[in-house]
Structure 1
Amino acid sequence: MGLSRSSLAGPGYVILNIIRVLNIIVFLDTIAASVALIVKINIVNGFFFFEAVFHVIIVGISIFLIVSELPILRGYFDRNWPLFGQDSSFITLSIVMMIMGIAVLGDLNKSTASDTALGLAFWRIVVSAGILAIIMSTVNVLASFIFRDNDGGVTARHVRAYGAVAPSKVLERSSSHKSFQLGLNRQDSLPTYRTHSPISRPLSVRNGTRFPLKISPRTNDSEHHGSVPKSPKETDITVPNLAHHPAMYSTTV
């Protein structure tokens, strides 16, 4: 059934929140059963420590899953534990719950966990924790498939959080995420202004040294080019005699 038929969204909000409360009750029952098994451990040899550690781990996982079911720290789970985040289904939760239920019921196979050894009250707590965990694991799997919409990207967690407006909320979140990614890509594509290194110079300039210029002292030009030519006043120039010019001998007709 898809959420395109909006008639499931409203009842789904109520049903899934009831399942949430039942999940928390199952985890609290599992914590109580694990504590009872820790208290009633029969110390046969030194390996009892590992049995106690196993039950402590079950308690820690139960507390973690209780926090994941509460409407707190959503951003933390989305970033670090996406399988328990807002965009995931209840499949991972169901698998962990199933394993915990089987492990708790498996402890009842020991002689130290019989109803006479544990006491009838503690024995019932252990039995109820295992049975309820297995039942609720199956219920969460069914809820994940019933209240999801693959076409709209809506999961059962979205319906549990937003109800009938889950499709619009998911669309709004996806559009805001895309705009954020677009902004990041646009920022990365903008030109960056860097301080470029100065124009490369010759090695002698970069090292602060220059080729030395050897300037020879000015010598007397007469030593290299001979004597300096004399000025016209100093040369012996004679003015030609105009009487001997051919024009003076021409006859006038």
Structure 2
Amino acid sequence: MPFFKSSLSGPGYVVLNVIRVCNIIALLAIVAASFCMLIKTFVVSKFFFFDGVSHVITGCLALALILTEIGVFRRYIANNWPLLSINSGFITLAVLMIILGVSVLGNLNKTATSENSLGRTFWQLTIASGIVVSLFGVINIFANYAFRQKSLGITARQVRKYGSTAPQKVDVSPSLSVRTAKSGRRSFYLNRRSVSDTLPSYHTDNRPAARNISAPVMATTPIKGVSDGGVPVINGVQRPDLAHHPAYQGQNF
């Protein structure tokens, strides 16, 4: 199966880029139909404001999807619209295209956007744009599952950009274990060895060089400012011997 998926990367580069061109054309038709209906709504409808706002939102959303398909503002899209970035597939794009198509076709039932109001040419443009963009929305869903490499975490967008070199160009997560690769679920975990190297250790060692800072150090030889018993002397005042502390007497409280 991985060999089959890798063999589809080369043809997938061509097929997905052809689909991208068709997506842009279909979305441009939605923009044209939306603004055409917007003009007719202002002329005919009495409640033109809300209908006009809906047409503006439809046209602006189609323009935004065109920008994602062209590939401009990639950093902004990755930070703010991650579901439309290169690290995601075509599912969000496909769903939005289907919604746009249904919205445009639904407006044809209104008086302001009927065949008599728009004229036969613009009415045909509107109905064709709704059908085509919905159709390519469905095609994008099938293309997303057909050309992605799920075991490697490579999306269909990455195949569309890099083709057969996608496994070398894309940073495949090293945390994908054999089990998660078979199940298709990503596992993000820290290596146990790396954790033990970065976290501090509180185990004590009898060797002087291996003593941790958290382990108490008892002086055994007299030094300057220290009494014969190893108890420090500060300004002539000797601190009480720790040997008499309850913790060292084995008392329980």
- 8 Å CA contact 1:4, 1:149 repeated in 2: no
Shift of 1:111: 2.7
SS at match of 2:152: coil
Please give the TM-score of this superposition, normalised by the length of structure 1: 0.65
* Structure 2 residue aligned with 1:232: none
* Structure 1 residue aligned with 2:90: 90
* Structure 2 residue aligned with 1:28: 28
The 1:158/1:117 distance shift into structure 2, 3 A limit, reads same
Structure 1 segments unaligned to the other structure (5+ residues): 176-184, 190-253
Q: Does 1:144 align with 2:144?
A: yes
Output the amino acid matched with 2:138.
Answer: T
State how far apart, in whole Å, the 1-side matches of 2:5 and 2:144 are. 16
Shift of 1:167: 1.4
Higher radius of gyration, 1 or 2: 1
The 1:3/1:31 distance shift into structure 2, 3 A limit, reads farther
Q: Does 1:109 align with 2:109?
A: yes
The 1:156/1:2 distance shift into structure 2, 3 A limit, reads farther
Q: Which moved more, 1:108-117 or 1:52-61?
A: 108-117
* Structure 1 residue aligned with 2:57: 57
State how far apart, in whole Å, the 2-side matches of 1:65 and 1:157 are. 14
Output the amino acid matched with 1:54.
Answer: S
For 1:129-167, what per-residue CA distance to the aligned partner results, in whole angstroms no more than 9, with x for missing partners?
Answer: 100011000000000000011110011001001000111
State how far apart, in whole Å, the 1-side matches of 2:153 and 2:135 are. 27
Q: Which has the higher contact order (CA 8 A, sep 6+)?
A: 1
State how far apart, in whole Å, the 2-side matches of 1:104 and 1:169 are. 39
State how far apart, in whole Å, the 2-side matches of 1:3 and 1:123 are. 48
State how far apart, in whole Å, the 1-side matches of 2:61 and 2:3 are. 32
State how far apart, in whole Å, the 2-side matches of 1:89 and 1:161 are. 12
Matches within 5 A, 1:167-246: 167-170=167-170, 172=171, 174=173
Q: Does 1:155 align with 2:125?
A: no
State how far apart, in whole Å, the 2-side matches of 1:136 and 1:20 are. 10
Output the amino acid matched with 1:51.
Answer: D
State how far apart, in whole Å, the 1-side matches of 2:154 and 2:40 are. 45
For 1:49-80, what per-residue CA distance to the aligned partner results, in whole angstroms no more than 9, with x for missing partners?
Answer: 01001100111101110110112222221111
* Structure 2 residue aligned with 1:6: 6
The 1:3/1:127 distance shift into structure 2, 3 A limit, reads farther
State the identity as a percent. Answer: 44
* Structure 2 residue aligned with 1:237: none
* Structure 1 residue aligned with 2:225: none
Q: Which runs of 4+ in 1 moved over 6 A?
A: none
Please give the TM-score of this superposition, normalised by the length of structure 2: 0.65
State how far apart, in whole Å, the 2-side matches of 1:167 and 1:32 are. 39
State how far apart, in whole Å, the 1-side matches of 2:150 and 2:6 are. 14
State how far apart, in whole Å, the 1-side matches of 2:24 and 2:60 are. 14
Output the amino acid matched with 1:111.
Answer: T
* Matched residues, number: 180
State how far apart, in whole Å, the 2-side matches of 1:132 and 1:28 are. 11
Structure 2 segments unaligned to the other structure (5+ residues): 175-193, 199-253
SS at match of 1:113: coil
Q: Say what the alpha-carbon RMSD is for the aligned residues.
A: 2.4
The 1:2/1:83 distance shift into structure 2, 3 A limit, reads farther
State how far apart, in whole Å, the 2-side matches of 1:90 and 1:70 are. 14
- 8 Å CA contact 1:29, 1:129 repeated in 2: yes
* Structure 2 residue aligned with 1:127: 127
